[in-house]
Structure formats: C-alpha cells, structure tokens
Amino acid sequence: MTEILRGLGTDNMTQQAKRADARARVTVPEFRARKDRQEKLTMATAYDATFARMLDEGGVDSLLVGDSLGMVVQGQSSTLPVTLDEMIYHCRAVARGLARVPGGSRALIIGDMPFMSYQVDELSAMRNAGRFLAEGGAHAVKLEGGSPAMARTIARIVECGIPVIGHVGLTPQSIHAMGGFRVQGKSEEAAERVFQEAKAVEEAGAFAIVLEGIPEALGKRISEALAIPTIGIGAGVHCDGQVLVSYDLLGLTPDLKPKFVKRYADFFETGIAAARAYVDEVQRGVFPGPEHTFGAATSRPADAPKTQSNVVVVKPATETTSRRPEPLRAVSYGPTES
C-alpha cells in the first residue's frame, strides 16, 4: 500500500488505496480486524472451481466448502452421508478455481469438517483438520458445536496452527438430536445454552463463529459479547458478517424457500430457458451455425436467426415455473420455519 500512496495526490491516493485493499487477500487476522473496524464480512459456499472463481470475482470475502454440498450437489436429504474424502476433493476444486482468478484471488477458503471426522477423538480431529490444509488447499476449517468436549477439540486443532471457525445454534450434523432443522435458542434457557457454547468456542481459540438459525436478539447478544466475528445465517442483521449457500443466493434451489434466504439471481429458471433454446435450435437445424463450424458450408435454413456472437443470453422462463411438478419432498440445510 505504501508504494501505491507514494507520489499520488490525496483524492487519487484514497481511490487507489481503496482499490488495492479491495483486491487484498482476506486472511485470518484480517477477519478479526474487520470486526474491530466494524466492516461486515461476507461468506458464501463454493463446491467447485467455476463457482469459486465467480464468487471471488464478485468480491465474496471467504468461501466455505460446506458439507451442504451433500444436499445441493449430491442430492442427499441431510449432510450426514458426506465423507472426508469427498470434502477434500471439493476443497481442492475450489482452491484450483481461485488459482485461476485473473490478478489473483482474495477469498479465504474454509473446509467444513464432515460428520464424524472430528467428534470421535482429538487426535483424529487434528489429523483430519490437517488434511483440509495439506491436501485440500483450505486456509481454515469449520466444525459444529460448543460443548466442553468440542471446545477441547477446537483448542487442540488451533494448537496445530490450523485456524478454526466454530458453528453453533442450528447445527445440521445434529439434525436428529434437534428433531429436524429447527430454529435454536428460542427459550431463555436454550438461548443461554447457545450463548455459553459461543463463548466456549471463542475461548478455545476459534477466530470466528457461524451462528445459524437463532433469533435476532440472540445473534445480537453473542455478536456484542464476543471479540471474534460472528457470521450469521438466519441469525439476523447484527452479526459481523453473513453466509449463504451459493445455490440459494443464485436461485438454484427452486424447491426450497427458507425465510433466511435472499435470492440475488434466478439461475435455475435461466438454465431451463437456456436448455429450451438450445433444444429448439438443434431441432430446427439452427445450431450449430457457420460461426460454430470448422470449414462451414454456406447454406443455412431460411429461418435461421443471424447471430452476432457465440453467446446467446436467454431470459428466465418464468411462465414455465407454475408448470413444473411439485417437489417430491422439501429438503433443507437450515430452518424452514419462520
């Protein structure tokens, strides 16, 4: 930054410095510093190279290779069947995607430790956490829970030099213990339990904590009490940052409309419309046109549109939405209640 500031006028200097900061790599210390500066953090899930690159170029601060991939990528009804090897495979894909960001990527990669990869004993938890960094290219790991045993596990992993993000409130790996994807911490007693768990996670050395599916007031109380940043999902606006499943934020989960999700795009409908346009053009002999063909013949069907480029932008087929069959079952990795 100093080199950038040197020799520039003040206005220019501020602009340039801001731009340089905007592309600076997001590190674990930067996560903590953001809370001190009261600047919100952004996190989204990523499971492959293309999405990782897209989200990084969109300015998302950190990419969580979440075990939610079990539901949105693998089509499972919970996160429980996801294996450690699968998580590391997806982590590697995300890390490769970031390596392809022009000008360098900035997002912090967090590997989500899957069910039973850290609960059995501290040694296997440390070993498995290490695999995310050594084999998966992650910068940190996330694990669920804030019991005394889990706090000890977090402390041991942190002692290995592996940064840890905690996760309390609605913890999807405990779906059966919770009786489903339910908002947690609603009663005074339950709120106190989540609060104490969050404090235990901080004391164990986690550098941030995900708060999932809890009332806004509890999200605020925890965010004010902790020195480490809180990253909310269904935990209200007072958290120090927010995380969303990328498939939700991009509109790729048509059968799922949890209250805490906001859709910023309509990729699923756009995808249907694109597929229909492709099918239509192939059936009419319009695609491939001469511009897509090696040593093309000159004759084309009379009704062929004169395409200007290789890219056709189609609009979402919103009129088709109502004709799609009802989902067989609703799945969720978060609370569906209001």
**Residue 271 C-beta: closest distance to ligand KIV, Å:** 21
Q: How many CB atoms lie within 10 A of CB 91?
A: 27
**Complex with ligand KIV: residue 48 or 281, whichever CB lies closer:** 48
**Complex with ligand KIV: residue 232 or 316, whichever CB lies closer:** 232
**Of 144, 197, 202, 212, catalytic:** 212
Question: Nearest to residue 29, comparing CAs of 126, 130, 140, 173?
Answer: 140
How far apart are alpha carbons 123 and 102 in whole angstroms? 39
- Host H or E run for residue 110: strand 108-112
At 142 the three-state DSSP class reads strand
**Residue 338 C-beta: closest distance to ligand KIV, Å:** 18
Q: Which residue is nearest to ligand KIV (CB)?
A: 66
Summarize as ranges the residues that interact with ligand KIV (CB under 6 A): 45, 64, 66-68, 112, 210, 212, 233, 243, 245, 333
**Residue 334 C-beta: closest distance to ligand KIV, Å:** 6
**Complex with ligand KIV: residue 125 or 249, whichever CB lies closer:** 249
**Complex with ligand KIV: residue 55 or 233, whichever CB lies closer:** 233
**Residue 50 C-beta: closest distance to ligand KIV, Å:** 18
Q: Is 174 exposed, middle or buried (CB count within 10 Å of its CB: 0-12, 13-18, 19+)?
A: middle
Catalytic annotation on 212? yes
Q: Are the C-beta atoms of residues 135 and 105 closer than 8 Å to each other? A: no
> What are φ and ψ of residue 194, in 5° steps?
-65, -40
Catalytic residues: 212
